[in-house]
Amino acid sequence: MINQYNALVIPNDVRVASEAVQKLIKDKTLRQHLQAGGCATILKWGWDRSIDLLERR
């Protein structure tokens, strides 16, 4: 996860989490930005790459 790219990374704080959810509800541009970042991230993590990383451990 990359904060503000494909996620909103927040501390373990209910108030901050609530504010982040409210921000996502109100800010369509932010939602779309995070969705695009998420899609770009998932394209980098196909099965072959994931298996390669697991086998290296």
Assigned domain for 41 exists: yes
Assigned domain for 6 exists: no
Classified as helix, coil or strand, 21 is helix
Assigned domain for 35 exists: yes
Structure tokens at 9: 């990374």
Assigned domain for 51 exists: yes
pLDDT of residue 35: 97
Domain with 23 in it: 14-56
The answer on pLDDT for 24 being more than 90 is yes
Question: What's the total number of domains in the chain?
Answer: 1
- How many angstroms separate the CA atoms of 57 and 51, rounded? 10
| Contact by Cβ (8 Å): 20, 10 | yes
Assigned domain for 25 exists: yes
Q: Sorting pLDDT into bands at 50, 70 and 90, what band is 46?
A: confident
pLDDT of residue 44: 85
pTM, two decimals, is: 0.72
Show the CA angle centred on residue 33, arms to residues 7 and 52, nearest 5°.
Answer: 55
Assigned domain for 8 exists: no
For residues 48 and 7, the model is more confident at: 7
- How many angstroms separate the CA atoms of 49 and 32, rounded? 26
Averaged confidence pLDDT in the chain: 92
Quick one: average pLDDT of 23-52? 92
